Amino acid sequence: MVEMHDPARLAERKFERVNEIIAECGANESSLIPILQHVQEEYRYLPEEVMSFIATALDIPPAAVNGVATFYAQFSMEPKGKYLIRMCDGTACHVRDNRALIDATKHRLNLAPGKTTTPDMRYTLEVVNCIGACALAPAVVINDQVHGQMTGDKIVALINEIDANEADGAEK
Amino acid sequence: MTTNLTQILSKADLEALKTRAHAALDSDALRVVVCGGTGCSSNGSAEVLIALRQAIAAAGLAIKVDLLDESQMDALSVDFSGCSGFCEVGPIVRILPENIFYVQVKAKDAKDIVERTLIAGQAVDRLLYQDKNTGERYIHRDEIPFYVNQVNIALTDCGLIDPADIRHYIAHNGYEALAQTLEGKTPEDVVQVITDAGLRGRGGGGFPTGRKWGITLKVPGEKKYVICNADEGDPGAFMDRSVLEGNPHAVIEGMILAGFAIGADEGYVYVRAEYPLAVQRMRLAIRQAEQSNLLGDNILNSGFGFHIKIKEGAGAFVCGEETALIASIEGQRGMPRPKPPFPAQSGLWGKPTCVNNVETLANVPRIILRGSEWFRQYGTEKSAGTKVFALTGDVVNTGLIEVPMGTTLGDVVFKVGGGIRGGGEFKTVQIGGPSGGCLTKDHLDLPLDYDSLRSVGAMVGSGGLVVMDDETCMVEVARYFMNFTQSESCGKCVICREGTKRMLEILEKITSGQGVPEDLETLEELAETVRDGSLCGLGKTAPNPVLSTLKYFRHEYEAHVWDKKCPAKQCANFKTYWIDPARCKGCRMCAKQCPVEAITGNLKEPHVIDAEKCIKCGACMDVCRLKAVELQ
């Protein structure tokens, strides 16, 4: 932030949207989770300064905001990629060998051990709790689109397709 | 979707609308219903719907624009429904009134459906469901073995009505139970009917719903709340999601009736954020009910008012526990607190609160409408009615099923489920998710109801039934569930937080081949301690998968620790991939596929796997056409 040429302006603009979100959800503690959800939708993660700002706005300790943010799996403290690939790890998917699928995706995305997001910020791979598409196991959700009965080949093809579309978009 | 909703101000208004909607919906005019459940949607049912509309228009047939448009009574209607249950064979298209049932329909099939079925009145053979075991084809939905053995109460209109149009629900007696209740019934009357019906909580606990309502009614308080628990976190379960997506108004009506019965004027639906479609449908349904004056202040001019808000969960399994759920609605970390006080005494913001599960609430309007005697004709003495199960895993017919309580496990797996897929052998059914247990071949005659299941160390849970064949390692299954509960333990109780961690470590040790015989005793001791010493249901039931696999499949644990063998050949550390030099022709396919370059060999010469490098992913085995790769 500090390095940017006009940090004050940037911060002002950043908090303007947060203020709108707080106004929409209501400035009280019971709205904390919806506020954080909307903020994350906006920024793809929860920036620390935004969380402190929310704490001040709701008149609760920053530790309480941080406590809630770290408790729920949905919230991320790190920026997520443009495409969020969520691999279901429900029982049905597990029984139908989703491990091979996860390995194939990691391999295709060339993710370094311990990393979930690609360096170009295009993809984030998450292994998530059951998404309730058990009859289509193994299932994968890319952004909000559910893909059922997946195989290693199919997921690689989907990622290739996204890459091709992104490349097209960049050219235009 | 529906723009011109009329205000319904009295029971007479509702009846008038019902008559019109029923005549329009269930007339002799053809109705094409495309399943819009999550399963069918992900297989492209939206494209199928568009293609059908285009093909119908191209054939010169009129499509109904609005359900109640009098000038279009004979026109065809084409709309989405919620989940039809038989997700395995989606996308599903039904043609009413004859109830022709087409499966795995693609957009390119639209022309044939229009020309041959809608115009010529014949079935398109290739789209009919074919029984995988007998090869027989079925034209009508209700003849298909998957459906024949089911009884639908909670799922009645799922897969039949358009969840995005309140008038479809009204056409099928929707909100009639509410209208009848508000016309002269007392809260005590409602509690009595539900109590007499013997309805028990469908979320897992099985607590009698009528009793819960009765207690909350008697607690004094100006302000009370109803909470619909739609935080369906169990892996392998999607019943609540399907009900919310397929028939959201039944849940809303159930909530209003619960509110009336306990004296509450406000309700919350707590839905998992992982169910975006359910949230969207519920939101739309609430808006339509409000516009129609069936929800809000002074419903049907009765003086009774009820409001519903949606709260989206944020990904914490423990929030399925009612006190944790309440904390989460209040904006805090979702951690359970000791009971008593029970939510009925002091719940949301300290007010008396009644927490009911989605499926429980969906049963309520039907019970009120048809009476407790009608409901009791299904199920067993102590477990009345039906139960929705998510039938998944290694079974031929996967999907959503609803059967009378007390149906035997064997009937569910073999009659409804069609047996084991891929010619494997039935090994076990995991029921009730991470809180439940395993049932074996010996339990095929066991009736599925609350008490019978509890007597064998399992539980109905929320209703996930995951069928597993003989290639499943039970120690690995136990490890899988322990990994789940360990990561979802909220950390409040030391016994749960640390106990599940230690249990997971031991299970990982066993599945990786490092287990020693004493581990089994330590595991059992830990399991009992965690079960007895935890505050909430998560910890109390977390050891169930371990205890039940130890009880029924102890020999598998012993094989891992004594003989260093995984009988199901699933645990990676016990596996060795080997290429049979006699069969390998050196095509290099496996070497190209290997992600870690563990396979070497010259072209047209037998290849070798380097056991040191091999990560045991099995890619070589999948790709080899000569079946030269073997698992040892």
Would you say residue A156 has pLDDT above 70?
yes
Q: Of all residues in chain A, what percent carry a pLDDT higher than 70?
A: 92
* Binary contact (B315, A73; C-beta < 8 A): yes
Chain A residues within an 8 Å CB radius of B42: 133, 136, 139, 145-148
Best mutation target among A40, A59, A71, A153 (most B Cβ atoms within 10 Å) is A71
What pLDDT sits at residue B55? 95
B223 vs A11: which has the higher pLDDT: B223
Cα B125 to Cα B128: distance, rounded to the nearest angstrom: 5
Chain A residues within an 8 Å CB radius of B233: 129-130
Please, which residues 86-105 of chain A have a Cβ atom closer than 8 Å to chain B? 89-92, 94-96, 100, 103
Would you say residue A1 has pLDDT above 70?
no
Cα A3 to Cα B590: distance, rounded to the nearest angstrom: 51
Please, which residues 58-87 of chain B have a Cβ atom closer than 8 Å to chain A? 87
What pLDDT sits at residue A7? 57
Q: What's the first-to-final CA gap in chain B, in angstroms? A: 59
Model pLDDT for residues A38-95, shown as the tens digit of each residue? 999 888 899 999 999 999 999 999 999 999 999 999 999 998 999 999 999 988 898 8
Model pLDDT for residues B515-538, shown as the tens digit of each residue? 999 999 999 999 999 999 999 999
What pLDDT sits at residue A4? 45
Chain A residues within an 8 Å CB radius of B313: 72, 74
Q: How confident is the model at residue A3 (pLDDT cuts 50, 70, 90)?
A: very low
Would you say residue B207 has pLDDT above 90?
yes
- As for the ipTM of the complex, it is 0.87
What pLDDT sits at residue A8? 59
Q: How far is B618 from chain A (nearest CA, A)?
A: 8
Q: Of all residues in chain B, what percent carry a pLDDT higher than 70?
A: 99
Would you say residue B2 has pLDDT above 50?
no
C-alpha A4, offset from chain centre: 25
B43 vs B290: which has the higher pLDDT: B290
* Binary contact (B331, A68; C-beta < 8 A): yes
Would you say residue B462 has pLDDT above 80?
no
- Interface check A66 vs B, CB under 8 A: no
What pLDDT sits at residue A5? 53
* Binary contact (A135, B392; C-beta < 8 A): yes
B289 and B166 in contact (C-beta within 8 Å)? yes
Amino acid at A84: L
Nearest chain B Cα to A93, which residue?
Answer: B393
Cα B369 to Cα B373: distance, rounded to the nearest angstrom: 11
Closest Cβ opposite residue B393 in set A34, A64, A92: A92
- Interface check A34 vs B, CB under 8 A: yes
Establish, for the pair of chains A and B, how many residue pairs have beta carbons separated by less than 8 Å.
143
Would you say residue A10 has pLDDT above 70?
no
Would you say residue B13 has pLDDT above 90?
yes
Chain A residues within an 8 Å CB radius of B41: 146
Closest Cβ opposite residue A91 in set B330, B466, B488: B466
Report the mean per-residue pLDDT for chain A. Answer: 88
Model pLDDT for residues A104-114, shown as the tens digit of each residue? 899 899 988 88
Kindly list the distances between the CA atom of residue B458 and the CA atoms of A89, B199, B236, B263, B410, in Å, as whole numbers in the listed order: 22, 20, 15, 35, 16
3-state SS, residue B392: strand
Chain A residues within an 8 Å CB radius of B397: none
* Binary contact (A132, B241; C-beta < 8 A): yes
Closest Cβ opposite residue A136 in set B39, B333, B480: B39
Residue B307 CB coordination number (10 Å)? 16
Would you say residue A171 has pLDDT above 80?
no
Average the pLDDT over B123-146 and give the result.
Answer: 93
Cα B117 to Cα B102: distance, rounded to the nearest angstrom: 11
* Binary contact (A89, B390; C-beta < 8 A): no
Closest Cβ opposite residue B314 in set A37, A92, A135: A37
* Binary contact (A95, B393; C-beta < 8 A): yes
The least confident of B193-197, B222-226, B592-596 is: B592-596
Q: How confident is the model at residue A117 (pLDDT cuts 50, 70, 90)?
A: very high
Model pLDDT for residues B306-346, shown as the tens digit of each residue? 999 999 999 999 999 999 999 999 999 999 999 999 999 99
Q: How far is B28 from chain A (nearest CA, A)?
A: 33
Report the mean per-residue pLDDT for chain B. Answer: 93
Helices B358-370 + B248-262 axis angle, to 10: 80
What pLDDT sits at residue A112? 82
Would you say residue B476 has pLDDT above 90?
yes
- The DSSP result for B171-233, as a single string, is HTTTTHHHHHHHTT--HHHHHHHHHHHT-B-TTTT--BHHHHHHHHHHS--S--EEEEEE---
What pLDDT sits at residue B595? 80
Model pLDDT for residues B485-503, shown as the tens digit of each residue? 999 999 999 999 999 999 9
* Binary contact (A131, B274; C-beta < 8 A): yes
What pLDDT sits at residue A91? 86
Length of chain A in residues, anyone? Answer: 172
Q: pTM, whole model, 2 decimals?
A: 0.91
What pLDDT sits at residue A168? 86
What pLDDT sits at residue B3? 55
B225 vs B433: which has the higher pLDDT: B225
The least confident of B69-73, B147-151, B336-340, B430-434 is: B69-73
Model pLDDT for residues B400-442, shown as the tens digit of each residue? 999 999 999 999 999 999 999 988 899 999 998 888 899 999 9
Cα B577 to Cα B580: distance, rounded to the nearest angstrom: 10
Instruction: Answer left, alpha or beta for residue A107, where phi above 0 means left and psi between -120 and 50 means alpha.
Output: alpha
- Interface check B431 vs A, CB under 8 A: no
Chain A residues within an 8 Å CB radius of B332: 29, 64, 68
